[in-house]
Structure 1
Amino acid sequence: MAQDVGGAVIELEDIVVFGGLLPTNLDTTGATIDVANSADIQREGASATAALDLLPGVSVSANGGLGSSATVRIRGLSGPYVGVRIDGIDVTDPSGPQTAFNFGRLTTGSLDRLAVVKGTQSAVYGSEAIAGVVEVETWRPEVSGVSGKAQLELGSFETRSANLSFGYLDDRAELALSLGRVTSEGYSARDTDDENDGFEQSLVNLFAAYQVSDAIRIGFNGFWSEGTAEYDQAATDPRGEIDETRRGVRMFGEVQAGAWTHELSFSRYEIERFDPVGFTRDFLGERDTVAYLATGDLSSGVSLAFGADWSEERAALDGDAYDASNSAVFAEVKATPTDAVELSLTLRYDDYSDFDGQLSGRAALSYRLDEATTVRASLGTGYRAPSLYERFGPYAGSTPLDPEESLSFDLGIEHSYGDRGTVKATVFWAEIDNLIGFGSGPNCLPSQTFGCYIQTDGTTETRGLELSGSYAITDRVRVSGAYTLTNTENDGERVVRVPRHDLSLALEADVTDRLQVGINMTRVSDTLDGFGTLTPLDDYTVWDVSARYAITDMASVYGAIDNVGDVSYQTVRGFNAPDRTIRFGVETSF
């Protein structure tokens, strides 16, 4: 399977991942990677944020329901510090105030896996990877011949989703096509209004690859989505609607030359947004990337990857256009001197068109104490480049901005109970300096009476502990859970919307060979929000129940009640989270 220079999670059935430039075993990598598989994703409904929110070290805040603005934080660090790839395509928005991705529109219909690579990953992915990276992989066929799946789901707030995926696989060719449609009347985003804020979106994903010869493989993947989300423009004005179209395409060619594999790829991402009542109405963001990657084995225990890429970002806001480009070279060496040790070292140098170059590095080490216990550690340096809007927009100051810079470290241990389960514990720490913020001062132009983007004093620091595990009590009963303790501060003051305590527990039981039931509990506490003066958000505990019945080996019906207790809570002050939600559906595979 092809992979972009940024890396992509692949073939998790064989426990192989790309947490760097080179493939490695998920059990032996020194990087901290957590995965939500297809069953995890589909169990949580139409929004992918629900599955991400259950992973250790990950939290989500949203300005409303499905389709609203939603931010994923990794270890307390928010969207501009989180890289996002969909099938190897960088989908962060170049036209936003900060370059980030809106997870509120990421629906689950075509998704097969979500992998979160934690810690500073700029040496692998470049900018926007200080906190880590979310790798999104869409459905692909796994058996020879024609195969596929279909799903229909109905739920509260008049939410309806329909998804169809089908494909073909043989020794030389692979084809996958996914179609999806989601509509919802929604509920009021703001707690001061009572009108519904709806959402609708259509989505197409395509992947095709062909083995031209034993040495040459070519391929193509892409996606298109178009949707409309309603929102409350202000506390006293519920009128708001954003139309958004996203398009992504990636073409690649692989050549096997002796012990080396060479890959050349080109990708393009475009996002268009129209907000008829917004301060800015028209947004257009584009990104082109050309990348080359070579991988090979220097010896039985040493592998090497090296390459280069070039990218250009463009943004247009109500006709005002900005652009910038970047060239990079990178290399990674992975050594396995013994069966118990794996060490990878990665370096990347980025040369930007309008500010000084950036050197990033990462070291990841794993050591297997015995057959059941592995210790992991990683250290990384990274950066966040100022966005096009921060550099060239109406609030850009007279002095060019420099990138934010980061250093991160984590140390963890994992113990396996064989086929029964695993437990993991990880401590983490990260620091960001040279921060970019909005303020006033001599760098602002006379016309910028409200301020401009400047380098601000201070440091953002995050530290904490992740615990997670799963265990099969019997052949029919399984328990799992995750807990994260996070303390994220900016100059000694806590950062908004980062829960200090985040706990999730789950129990699944096979009542019969065909009937499965599940209970989930989420407990979130000690979260602050506000502007200027921070005040606590209410702590909350939410229970969910679900059931699935296999009509045949290829078809199932399922149902779920989310927020059984109808708890009223918020992850962003002034914006509602969903009340009790009932949904049911049917799915089949062929």
Structure 2
Amino acid sequence: MKHLLTTASLMALVALPATAQDNFDLGEITVFANETPRATDRTGATVEIVTEDEVQASGTVQVVDVLTRLPGITVAGNGGVGAASNISLRGLPARYVPVYINGIDVTDPSGPQTQFSFGGLLTSGIGRIEVLKGSQSALYGSEAIGGVVNITTLRPTRPGTELRLGAEYGSYNTRSASLAVLTRTDRADLAFTFARYVTDGFSAADENDGNTEDDGFSGTQATLTADIRATDRLTLGLVLSHLDTETDQDGFPPPNFVIADSDDREFAKRSTARLSLAHDGDRIDHSFALNYSKITREYPVGFTNRFEGERREAEYKGVTRIRNVDLAFGLSYTEEEFAADTVTGEYDIAAVFIESQYMLGANTDLTLTRRYDDHSEFGGFQSNRAAIVHRLSGNTRLRASIGNGFRAPSLYELFGPFGDPTLEPEESRSAEVGVAHDYANGAGVKATLFYTEIENLIDFGTTTYTQIPGTSRTRGVELTGEVPLNDRIMAFGGYTYTRAEDRNGNQLLRVPEHNVVLGVDAQWTDQWSTQLALNHIAGRADEGFPAMPQADYTVVNATIGYAITDQTDAYLRIENLFDEEYQTSAGYGTSDRAVYFGVRASF
């Protein structure tokens, strides 16, 4: 099944009684890297976790800006906030990286590829982000070749009711406000988050090419979650969310396909819902869930004016323990459909999975996962993953994993105006090996070698989408570390080298060979704090006729925070501190130096 944990299971983790926390330390928990929650030092998969505090400290307004501080992740955007903004993970583009919010697959089934644009997703209301890397089709099915991004919105963490308010104003006449209401009782956890963001923006087509028209954005997002403990063993869950955006865009209209000022505007709405039930049995814990998502996009001046996609999912999972083996098993059924103006299409996928987590002694954990997907258009596909971690000492861990995956052609690739119903799924294999070490002073380092190959790539040919025989490869190394300079200052950094090539050895578009992240978090006094983050990107190629090299760039962002009281803080965020002129996508502009002031309070 695509979603691997009910909301109730996550809440059970964060709601451990204080007495239990006093007696033992579970360490950092990964919720989505396996079928059941697990301490990060007991999983062989590579997973990056961003906590709510880290999201807040970054001061960034877009989730994608938080993600680009993680190793192996880069972004290509078509302008400012709201414009199409897609990530690449270890050299693989967004169509290989599904995104889940509160357990719901939010990738767009109506797009040319089934993928997610981060352009309008704001950090307001975000509680936690987990990025799982490598082929994960054994866990998540189709598309999960590069990895998976799992996002969880805010949840209450202590009894009572908490009210959070936020407001921000800054460059480009940008205004935003946010609200969160979090309530916990003996029998229920309730959370409501709301955010509104409006900006005049800057030209999506790069102003350095003579474009002067501002391209604005307005967006509203709201989420309601509820977990009700009906009995000591039965928990009911509910998730409702809605996102409504309006984005000015600069496209590439014929006949010259030059990106330039235009009055283009896109209107988009995304609604999701999830109902779940979790039962704590004597021998087997059961969970059930129904998911629904719908997205509509209207682009009045485009070749296609209206896109509409729907996804319906039903899931079951059972979890038990047999001696030293944690066993999870389950099944799922998914229906997807799309409409692009008058063109329509649909398919369904039924899946069954089993995962075994073995304790091979006190210092070694092995996880084996197998999944079988039955696609209504392509028949069956079996995905497997093996992941192992060995603790050489209390502070050193060796990890390795290997798996295969697939990406079924999207509905648009099959049935759209340029589609080909004879396309077959892409298939992948991936492997990684890594080592991590934690030092007594709080420092830590991690190194990972990774490799992925994809066969029968689907790409756009002369007039239609077509299958390209051969093997595309991405491989490289990730190096990350953090070190406390003293008890108030923490330095962090990461470097990723990626070599991504198609079957002919040509560099894949928008994938940098070198990605460097450096930064400092400082808590100077009990009131004053700062964060400085540098991102250097080098060695890219981008779209053109033919493809052309893109200029390297270095961008520095800074955030200064001040705690007015224990419940209220103010911050100053400076984006592009040194006013770098750069592009993440050829022809599209990025922000000049911009300054934003915000206030956050909780009661």
Asked if 1:409 is matched to 2:427, the reply is no
1:447 counterpart residue number: none
Q: Are the counterparts in 2 of residues 28 and 342 from structure 1 also a CA contact under 8 Å?
A: yes
2:248 counterpart residue number: 230
Identity of counterpart residues, as a percentage?
A: 39
Among 539, 563, 566, the residue aligned to 2:579: 566
Change (3 A) 1:269 1:28: same
Asked if 1:275 is matched to 2:299, the reply is yes
Change (3 A) 1:419 1:151: farther
Asked if 1:475 is matched to 2:487, the reply is yes
Change (3 A) 1:470 1:129: same
Change (3 A) 1:554 1:422: same
Partners of 1:376 and 1:315 in 2: how far apart? 40
Asked if 1:204 is matched to 2:222, the reply is yes
Q: Are the counterparts in 1 of residues 343 and 417 from structure 2 also a CA contact under 8 Å?
A: no
Partners of 1:329 and 1:531 in 2: how far apart? 43
Partner SS state of residue 493, structure 1: coil
Q: Tell me the alpha carbon deviations over residues 497-548 of structure 1, each in whole angstroms, 9 at most, x when there is no partner.
A: 1111111111122221211122222211111112342222111112222211
Moved more, 567-576 or 232-241: 232-241
Among 90, 103, 116, the residue aligned to 1:101: 116
Partner SS state of residue 27, structure 1: helix
Partner SS state of residue 390, structure 1: helix
2:410 counterpart residue number: 387
1:418 counterpart residue number: 440
Partners of 1:131 and 1:365 in 2: how far apart? 19
Letter in 2 for 1:72: I
Q: Are the counterparts in 2 of residues 245 and 273 from structure 1 also a CA contact under 8 Å?
A: yes
Q: Tell me the alpha carbon deviations over residues 311-346 of structure 1, each in whole angstroms, 9 at most, x when there is no partner.
A: 000101113221111100001000112221111000
Moved more, 420-429 or 230-239: 230-239
Among 504, 509, 513, the residue aligned to 2:526: 513
Moved more, 510-519 or 327-336: 510-519
Asked if 1:127 is matched to 2:142, the reply is yes
1:443 counterpart residue number: none
Letter in 2 for 1:571: T
Structure 1-normalised TM-score? 0.95
2:255 counterpart residue number: none
Asked if 1:75 is matched to 2:75, the reply is no
State the Cα distance separating 1:261 from its structure 2 match. Answer: 0.7
State the Cα distance separating 1:350 from its structure 2 match. Answer: 0.4
Partners of 1:154 and 1:539 in 2: how far apart? 31
1:45 counterpart residue number: 60
State the Cα distance separating 1:476 from its structure 2 match. Answer: 1.1
Partners of 1:314 and 1:144 in 2: how far apart? 42
Partner SS state of residue 54, structure 2: helix
State the Cα distance separating 1:14 from its structure 2 match. Answer: 5.4
Q: Are the counterparts in 2 of residues 22 and 332 from structure 1 also a CA contact under 8 Å?
A: no
Q: Are the counterparts in 2 of residues 7 and 19 from structure 1 also a CA contact under 8 Å?
A: no
Q: Are the counterparts in 1 of residues 135 and 145 from structure 2 also a CA contact under 8 Å?
A: yes
Q: Tell me the alpha carbon deviations over residues 68-92 of structure 1, each in whole angstroms, 9 at most, x when there is no partner.
A: 0011110000011001000000000
Change (3 A) 1:78 1:7: farther
Moved more, 68-77 or 149-158: 149-158
User: What CA RMSD, in Å, does the superposition of the two structures yield over aligned residues?
Assistant: 1.6
- Runs of 4 or more, structure 1, over 6 Å off, are 6-9
Q: Are the counterparts in 1 of residues 142 and 406 from structure 2 also a CA contact under 8 Å?
A: yes
Letter in 2 for 1:269: S
Q: Tell me the alpha carbon deviations over residues 147-195 of structure 1, each in whole angstroms, 9 at most, x when there is no partner.
A: 2322111121111111111111123211000011011111001124210
Among 143, 157, 179, the residue aligned to 1:142: 157
Letter in 1 for 2:427: E
Q: Are the counterparts in 1 of residues 243 and 269 from structure 2 also a CA contact under 8 Å?
A: yes
Letter in 1 for 2:225: F
Q: Are the counterparts in 2 of residues 7 and 124 from structure 1 also a CA contact under 8 Å?
A: no
Q: Tell me the alpha carbon deviations over residues 531-582 of structure 1, each in whole angstroms, 9 at most, x when there is no partner.
A: 3422221111122222111111111111121211111000111111111011
Partners of 2:598 and 2:33 in 1: how far apart? 34
Letter in 1 for 2:467: Q
2:175 counterpart residue number: 160
Asked if 1:244 is matched to 2:296, the reply is no
Equivalences, count? 576
Partners of 1:517 and 1:547 in 2: how far apart? 4
1:25 counterpart residue number: 39
Partners of 2:468 and 2:181 in 1: how far apart? 51
Partners of 1:553 and 1:339 in 2: how far apart? 43
2:570 counterpart residue number: 557
1:500 counterpart residue number: 513
Letter in 1 for 2:281: A
Letter in 1 for 2:39: N
Partner SS state of residue 457, structure 1: strand
Structure 2-normalised TM-score? 0.93
Partners of 1:153 and 1:165 in 2: how far apart? 15
Give the 5 Å matches for 1:368-379. 368-379=391-402
Partners of 2:458 and 2:379 in 1: how far apart? 16
Letter in 1 for 2:444: T
Partners of 1:39 and 1:211 in 2: how far apart? 27
Among 226, 247, 264, the residue aligned to 2:288: 264
1:522 counterpart residue number: 535
Partners of 2:315 and 2:326 in 1: how far apart? 20
Q: Are the counterparts in 2 of residues 504 and 522 from structure 1 also a CA contact under 8 Å?
A: yes
Partners of 2:501 and 2:5 in 1: how far apart? 29
Partner SS state of residue 60, structure 2: coil
Identify unmatched segments of 5+ residues in structure 1.
Answer: 440-449
1:35 counterpart residue number: 49
Moved more, 235-244 or 329-338: 235-244
Asked if 1:291 is matched to 2:306, the reply is no
2:19 counterpart residue number: none
1:194 counterpart residue number: 212
Partners of 2:496 and 2:159 in 1: how far apart? 41
Letter in 1 for 2:339: A
Give the 5 Å matches for 1:526-537. 526-537=539-550
State the Cα distance separating 1:410 from its structure 2 match. Answer: 0.7
